[in-house]
Structure 1
Amino acid sequence: MSKLQETKQKLRGSIAPVVTPFKEDESLDLDTFKQLIDWQIASGSHAISVTGTSGEPSSLTLKERELVMETAIKAINGRVPFAPGTGSTNHQEALYLTKTAQEMGVDAAMVIVPYYNKPSQHALYKHYKTIADAVDIPIIVYNIPGRTGVNLEVKTLARLVEDCPNIIGVKESNKDFEHVNRVLLNCGRDFLLFSGIELLCYPMLTIGGSGSISATANVAPAQVAEMHNAWEEGNRERALELHYELMPLNDVLFKDTNPAPVKAALGMMGKIKPVLRMPMDLPNQALQDEIREVLKQYVELPDSVVSR
C-alpha cells in the first residue's frame, strides 16, 4: 500500500480544527495549545488540524503559523494523524507553508480556496496544481465559499483530482448538498469528503463522506467523535441521535463568526483565555449568556461561570 493510500485509510472521522489560544497580551499561548491537543486526543478525536478557520490563520504572521504547526506536531507525537491548514490568499505563502508542512512530516495539508481575491476557476486550478506538484504529501482542498467569496466548482475539483494524484480529499463547508453529492460522483467514491458544515456532518456520512472537520469538535470533542464511531460501527440510531443532540450547540456556536463563539465557550469551560486578535472579537454579552446556557447541556462548567 502506498503512502497516499495509507493516509486515505487513516484520515477519517472527526478531525478537530483546534483553535489558536492567545494570552491576555495576544501573544501565542503555546502551553495551553498543547493542553488542548492532549485533551482532543484523550477525548477521542481521530485527527488534528490547526490554522484552519478556527485557528485564525489570517491573524497570524507567517512565522507564527510555522510555530503553531511545529508545536502541534510535537504535541501530537504520532498519536493521531495531523493535517494543518497551509492555505493563504497569497499563493507564494500557501506554497511555502505547504512545503514547510511537508518538511515537518505532517500526514496531509489542508489548503483553503484563496479568499478575497475571488479567482476564476482556471486560476484556482493553476493555484492548486502548482502547490500539489511542489510536494509529495496528500492535499485536502478546503472549499468554504461563504468566507472566500468563490466556490470551487465540482468540474474544477474533478480536473484537479485527475491531474494531481496527491489531492485526496476536500473539506466542503458548502451548504449546497447537491454540490457535495456531485463531488463524490465526479471525483470517485473513494475520494475523501469531509463536512465543514456542522448540520451536514451526519448527512454527508450517509452519502459516503469520510468524516468532518467541525468547529464544534473544539467544544464537544467526545460527542463529535462518538457520532463518527457509531456510524462506523453500524449503529445508525446512535449516530443520528448524536446528530440531533449536538444541534443546539452547533446552532449557538455559529450565531457569530467562527471562532468567536467557540473561544467564548472554551473560556467558559476554563480551557483557554477567551482572547481573539482584532479585527475579530468576542460575541456580545447577550450571545455569551446564550452560549453559557446551551453549554450547560453538554459540559459541567466551573462554578464561577454557572453562577453568572
Structure 2
Amino acid sequence: MLTEIKQQLKGSIAPVITPFTKTGDVDLEKMSALIQWQLESGSHGISVTGTSGEPSSLTTEERIRVMENAIRTVNSRVPVIPATGSTNHQETMYLTKCAQDMGATAVMVIVPYYNRPNQHALYKHFKTVADSVDIPVIIYNIPGRTAVNLEVETIGRLVDDCPNIVGAKESNKDFEHINRVMHRCGQDFLLFSGIELLCYPMLTIGGAGSISATANVAPAQVAEMHNAWFEGDRDRALQLHYELMPLNDVLFKDTNPAPVKAALGMMNKIDPILRMPMDIPSEELQKEIRPTLEGYGMI
C-alpha cells in the first residue's frame, strides 16, 4: 500500500493558498475554483493549510473544513497532502488523524515553530505523530520559519523507525544538507523542494518534485518543468527553471503568501486578502508584481 502511494507522490504538488472573503471568512468556493484550475493546469498533487495556506491564522475547525473541501474537490484525481502540523503537539495529532479519516493521500507535518525543540524532542514528536496513523507522512523542514533545523541524522532515525515517514519537504537553502538527507535516507526517499530556485537542482539529485508557492501563480509552467524532467527532456526542464526565475524572485520579496495573493488578485482569481498580522505587499512591490505577471502573459 505504502509503495503504491509513494509512486503517486511526485512532481508539482501545489500548496494552495487559503482565500478569504472581504469579511474575513474562509472562501471555500474560491478555493475549490483554485484547486480545479490547478488540476486543469497539470499539477500533480494538491496540498492545503501549509505555509502558503496561512495555517497559523486559521482555527482548527477552519483547517478541517479546508482539508475536507480540498479532498472533496479533487475527488481522487490526484493525491491530496494536507499540512497538519502546528506548534501544538496535540493539535498536530488531532489534525493528522482527521486527515486520515477524511481520506487524505498523505500528510505533511512541519517542524514545530517557535518552540525550538532539541533534536531528541523533535524525534519523539514526529515518531508519535507517525505512529498514530497509517497513511504516509512527509516531514516539512523549514528552518527559516521554525528557527530550528531538523538535522540529517534525526531524519534518518525517523525513517529507520517509522515505515510511513516516506519523505520530506526541504525548505532549506543549505543544499549540502539536502544532499546528505538523500544520501542518509536512500534513493527511494521522497524529497520535495520548498525553495523555488532549488526545485530543478533537487530533481537532479534524485528528488521527487517540489511543493512550491510559485505553483499558485504559474501551475502549468511548474508542472511542465517536472514533466520535462521525468520525460528525459532535461534541456526543456532547465529552460523552464530559468524562465521562472524572475517570477520566483518577485513572489518572495515579501513574506509568503502576501505577494502570491497580490498576484492572484491581479489575475482575478481571488480577493487579495490576508488575515492579520499579515497584510498585502506595499504599493511599491505591487508595482513590481504587475509588470512581471504581464511579462508572462498572466494578465
**Shorter-chain-normalised TM-score: which range?**
over 0.9
Q: What is the correspondence of 1:1-308 to structure 2 with a 5 Å cutoff?
A: 3-301=1-299
Q: Secondary structure at the match of 2:295?
A: coil
CA distance in 1 between counterparts of 2:221 and 2:7 reads 22
Deviations 1:235-259 (A, max 9, x none): 0000000000000000000000000
Identify unmatched segments of 5+ residues in structure 2: none
- In structure 2, give the amino acid aligned to 1:15: I
CA distance in 2 between counterparts of 1:277 and 1:105 reads 28
Query: What is the RMSD computed on CA atoms of the aligned residues?
Result: 0.5
Q: Secondary structure at the match of 1:299?
A: coil
Cα displacement (A) at 1:297: 1.6
TM-score by length of 2: 1.00
TM-score by length of 1: 0.97
- In structure 2, give the amino acid aligned to 1:292: R
Cα displacement (A) at 1:21: 0.1
- In structure 2, give the amino acid aligned to 1:277: R
**CA contact 1:145–1:173 (8 Å) conserved in 2:** yes
CA distance in 2 between counterparts of 1:289 and 1:299 reads 16
Identify unmatched segments of 5+ residues in structure 1: 302-308
- In structure 1, give the amino acid aligned to 2:283: Q
Q: Secondary structure at the match of 1:93?
A: helix
Cα displacement (A) at 1:300: 3.4
CA distance in 2 between counterparts of 1:129 and 1:269 reads 42
- In structure 2, give the amino acid aligned to 1:147: R
CA distance in 2 between counterparts of 1:64 and 1:8 reads 28
Cα displacement (A) at 1:7: 1.1
CA distance in 2 between counterparts of 1:296 and 1:175 reads 29
CA distance in 2 between counterparts of 1:67 and 1:91 reads 20
Deviations 1:147-190 (A, max 9, x none): 00000000000000000000000000000000000011000110
CA distance in 1 between counterparts of 2:269 and 2:83 reads 22
Q: Secondary structure at the match of 1:262?
A: helix
Cα displacement (A) at 1:298: 1.7
- In structure 2, give the amino acid aligned to 1:193: L
Deviations 1:63-103 (A, max 9, x none): 00000000110000001000000000000000000000000
- In structure 2, give the amino acid aligned to 1:189: Q
Count residues in correspondence: 299
Deviations 1:120-173 (A, max 9, x none): 000000000000000000000000000000000000000000000000000000
- In structure 1, give the amino acid aligned to 2:267: M
CA distance in 1 between counterparts of 2:77 and 2:14 reads 14
Match of residue 305 from structure 1? none
Q: Secondary structure at the match of 2:21?
A: coil
- In structure 2, give the amino acid aligned to 1:95: M
CA distance in 2 between counterparts of 1:72 and 1:202 reads 27
Q: Secondary structure at the match of 1:239?
A: helix
CA distance in 2 between counterparts of 1:65 and 1:90 reads 14
Cα displacement (A) at 1:299: 3.0
CA distance in 2 between counterparts of 1:73 and 1:232 reads 26
CA distance in 2 between counterparts of 1:297 and 1:76 reads 31
Q: Secondary structure at the match of 2:26?
A: coil
- In structure 1, give the amino acid aligned to 2:275: R
Structure 1 runs (4+) deviating above 6 angstroms are none
Q: Secondary structure at the match of 1:199?
A: helix
